[in-house]
Every structure is written in structure tokens, then in C-alpha cells.
Structure 1
Amino acid sequence: MTYDRLETASPPSRRPRKPAPAAGTGPVIGRALQILGAFTAEHPYLSLSDLARRANLPVSTVHRMLGELLAWGALERDAQGRYRVGLRLWEIGSLAPRSQGIRELALPHLHDLSALTRENVQLAVRDESEVVFVERIGADGAVPTLTRVGGRLALTATGAGLVLLAHAPAQVQDEAMARPIQRHTPYTLTNHVQLRRVLAQIRVCGYAVSDRQLSADTLSVAAPVTTADGEVAAAVSVVVRHGSTRVGPLADLVRSAGRAISRALHTPVA
């Protein structure tokens, strides 16, 4: 099944941040979270003044809290004196059951799919209105991608996101339609009427295609991973260079991987 030519749209829409409390107010844990929330993929290293500005807190408050965050391992300091997220946070984050359980069960099948296609293979879950990538296997010579483990994108921006949006509750879909869609390339799907039509096609054919919607030289094909109750818990996808292969055979492989991971989810742990 082929989709209509996707229309123009815009780049990774990120979830709007909640307004930060007024400087210096709020409980200690809230201020600590403001400091940690100042780090992003675009800003992984921050100075004291950068942290204070991005967290909307006084420099004195941030300086006072940094000692405890460093001692616990939530933050680390590099040779230039800049701060970065600490390994302890990664250890805690890796325990998140929604990513850990599915990821561990999916890994053998992701490696199989990577070996068959020699392309980028990804596993993603939905977090409210965004897709979060919990695993990514890159192959030598595969097309570069804009995704990374732990990275977030709008549900409309990728094949995996489209699968998750197609099977999301009606309220989530309505919210996605209610906001403007960011344009990444001339092929990004921004028309809400077209988007609803594409989501319906995904539910019928069992896979999604994102053709040059996120970057001008990539195409992704994704399929759902379901629980024993039939709910879509995740999406598996392959990202290839646009024009390098036909969608049909790739969709067969991705759907097969999705079914294999689903069966692993259905099997009770002894």
C-alpha cells in the first residue's frame, strides 16, 4: 500500500516546557529538577551562569545545590569546569520499566533486523505527544539519522511516531491535530486532513512510511509492537537512504520484527 505524496510541514516540535516557578521559589526538589531540566541534547554542557539562566534560578541558589547534585552523581564536572548530566542519572533512568522490559525483549529481534537490512534499526515508545527512542542500532555505511537513544521528537515526524500516533487514544490524536506541525523538509506532513488519512492507512496496512519528513535523504518504515491485550506498546523501525530500496520488502521485514517482539512480550517470564 502506498501513501499519497506527503505535503510540506516543519522541524522537531518539542513538548512545551511548563512555566518555571519564579526565581528562588518552590521546594528544594523542584529547584533540583529545574536544574536538571536545563540540560538538553543541544546543551549537554553548561556553566554555572548558563544553568542559572536556563533554570530561571538565582546563581547563588544553583551554586548551593550543585554540591549535593555532584556528590550524589546526578551531575558531573568536566576539565573546563562545565557541568553535565552524571552517570548515576543514566543508571536510574535505565530502570524505567516501560523502556527496559521492552528493550531487553526486543534486542535479539532488533539485531536480527539490523543484520538482514544492514540499516539503522530503532525501537520507540510514546510519551504523551512525543516519541522517545529507547534503542537504536546503527550499521556501518548506513545513512546518518537525527535520532538517538533517549531522544524525543514529535509523533508526526518519524515512521515510529506515526505508528504510535495512529494507535494512540483519540484525545492524543486530537491534540496532535490541534497544534501546528513543525516543518523539517519540503516533504514534512503538515496538513491535518492528510495526516488523519495517513493514520487511517497505517491502521489498515500495519506499517507507516515517513519519506523525507525528518531529513531530506532518509526514509523510515515502522510497525507496531503489541501487548497480549492488543495495545500498541512500542514501534520498531528501519531508516534507510531515500531511493535505496523498495518500501514493500522493507515493510515485510519490519512487520515481521514487530510481530516477533510482540510474541516475546506475550510470553510469560518464568
Structure 2
Amino acid sequence: MRHTSAQAPSVVDRVLDVLAAFTPDRPALTLSELSRRTGLPLSTTHRIVGELARRGALERQDDGRYRVGLWLWEVASLSPRGPVLRDAAMPFLEDLYEATHENVQLAVLDVPDVVYVERISGRNAVSIVSRPGGRLAAHATGVGLVLLAHAPAEVQEQVLAAPLRRYTGKTITSAEELRRVLADVRRDGYVISDRQVEMVSLSVAAPVHGADDTVVAAISIVIPASGPDPRSMVPAVRAAARGISRTLGAPRALRQPS
């Protein structure tokens, strides 16, 4: 990441730039590649990478390239929106998967994206691009539409005011259309996102409520676009979301029958 502001990047900026250089398609990088991708001098990159490797945040392979280390996973596991949420959700995600043998996902909002906390996929399920720890633009995913629909008004306006990335010809790229869809999600309690990320799949998503009844996550099932009527999946997805909400202590879920 090249910094263009007049103010020089801080040490923390540089360290985070090094870590951000690793991506799903480039999980292992040489010092020279890290220097190029961050815009940092090679000597600075060498010093930062050495410190990160010493602390276990990076690991050096036999071929000299570096990968993200286990220590970062240990730190990330402390996030309350990670393991705690995942542990509450897993029994219901597993039940939903066993009932459908389709892709099942759990995600949280990190504007303007969603971050996937968990995904269960079957060998014969439709191929999808999401992965645990991965990101996709919120406006283009079922889980993202659910999370945006229940986000604070200022968060919604932030997304609506920005360019909306197009993945396919079906992706919502109009602020007016997105505003209408978000209103529908709040009214209906679920959403069907039709071929917005890939033309081969669509998703059915519903909100997960936390102990204060706010929406803290969303779950979805991803099925082939040529498969069964997605509306037939709505009751199962909503029931799983309600079960997770009940486990998290959401008052509205506790008041509803099982």
C-alpha cells in the first residue's frame, strides 16, 4: 500500500501494510515482493519482517518466502465477533447443512464489506468464492444485505453514497435500488440475493440478533441458481438464525416459539 499523504506513515502503518500485503491469491511472498507491494524500502521491509517473524506473526518457508504465522491466528481468535459467535452458531449451521447439503455461511459486517466467520461446504455443493476470514462487498451478498438493512442509518448512507462494485450483470449498483432492497429486508426478515456475485449461485440470508436484540451477524445458504426454488429454503434459514439468536440471549428470539 503506497501512502500518498504528506505525513509519513507511522511504524504501526508500516507493520500493518506488510501484513495487508498477503492475500488469498498471494499467501506467500518474498522480501522483494513485500517491498514492492507496500512501497517500503527493502531495508525497512527487512527490519519489519524480521521482527514479525521473531514474534511469530510471520513464518519463513524453506524457499525464503514468508507467510502469515500462527501467532496472528491466536490473537484473532480473541475477537468477540469470531469464536464466541461461531461457537454459538455452529450447531445450527451444521443442522442447516445436514438438511440441505448446500453451502452454509456465517458473516459479520465490517463496512463496506462482510467478513465470513464460518462456512460449511459439501463436495457436491455449488462452488463459491467466499471463505472463512474472507471479504466481499456487503451490497452484493445476501448476508451483507441483511446486515446493511439493520445497520445504523449513517452506516447505510455511507455505503449508499459510495460506488457500488459490480460483480455480475445482476449486482445491485444503484443506490436507489439498494435502498429499496434494504427496506424489503427489514419488512420481510430475510433476503434472496440472486446471482449478484456469481451467475451460478444465489443465496438466502436472515439476521442473527444478539443479547441486546441488535443484529450482530447474518447466516445464509448458497444454492445453484438452477436449483430448487430459493423461497423453499427461507423457513429453514430463518429457523437457524432464530436458534443462534436464542443461544446468544436475544430477547426477541426467546419470546418466539421454537
TM-score, length-normalised on structure 2? 0.92
Change (3 A) 1:201 1:18: farther
Q: Does 1:164 align with 2:183?
A: no
Q: Does 1:81 align with 2:64?
A: yes
Indicate conservation of the 8 Å contact 1:76/1:84, yes or no: yes
**1:143, CA displacement in angstroms?**
0.3
Deviating beyond 3 angstroms after TM superposition, the runs of 4 or more aligned structure 1 residues are 17-23, 25-30
Written as runs of structure 1 = structure 2, the 5 A alignment for 1:59-70 is 59-70=42-53
Q: Does 1:30 align with 2:13?
A: yes
Cα separation, 2, equivalents of 1:122 and 1:186: 23
Indicate conservation of the 8 Å contact 1:20/1:55, yes or no: no
Unaligned runs of 5+ in 2: 252-258
The structure in which a higher percent of residues are helix is 2
Q: Does 1:110 align with 2:93?
A: yes
Residue matched to 2:209: 226
Which whole-Å deviations, capped at 9, do the CAs of 1:189-216 have from their partners, x for residues lacking one?
Answer: 1121111111111111110111110001
* SS at structure 2 position matched to 1:141: coil
Q: Does 1:209 align with 2:195?
A: no
TM-score, length-normalised on structure 1? 0.88
* SS at structure 2 position matched to 1:84: strand
| Higher RCO structure, 1 or 2 (CA under 8 Å, sep 6+) | 1
Indicate conservation of the 8 Å contact 1:218/1:240, yes or no: yes
Q: Does 1:58 align with 2:41?
A: yes
Change (3 A) 1:41 1:22: farther
Change (3 A) 1:259 1:150: same
* SS at structure 1 position matched to 2:32: helix
User: Amino acid of the residue matched to residue 15 of structure 2?
Assistant: A
Aligned-residue sequence identity (percent) comes to 51
Written as runs of structure 1 = structure 2, the 5 A alignment for 1:82-231 is 82-231=65-214
Cα separation, 2, equivalents of 1:265 and 1:133: 18
Change (3 A) 1:143 1:228: same
Cα separation, 2, equivalents of 1:192 and 1:30: 33
The counterpart of 2:22, out of the listed 12, 16, 39, is 39
User: Amino acid of the residue matched to residue 182 of structure 1?
Assistant: R
Indicate conservation of the 8 Å contact 1:20/1:56, yes or no: no
Cα separation, 2, equivalents of 1:27 and 1:180: 29
Cα separation, 1, equivalents of 2:74 and 2:215: 26
Cα separation, 2, equivalents of 1:18 and 1:236: 35
Unaligned runs of 5+ in 1: 1-16
Cα separation, 1, equivalents of 2:146 and 2:2: 27
* SS at structure 2 position matched to 1:200: helix
**Number of residues paired by the alignment?**
251
Residue matched to 1:253: 236
Residue matched to 2:256: none
Residue matched to 1:49: 32
User: Amino acid of the residue matched to residue 30 of structure 2?
Assistant: S
Change (3 A) 1:213 1:83: same
Indicate conservation of the 8 Å contact 2:218/2:241, yes or no: yes
What's the C-alpha RMSD, in Å, of the aligned pairs?
Answer: 1.9
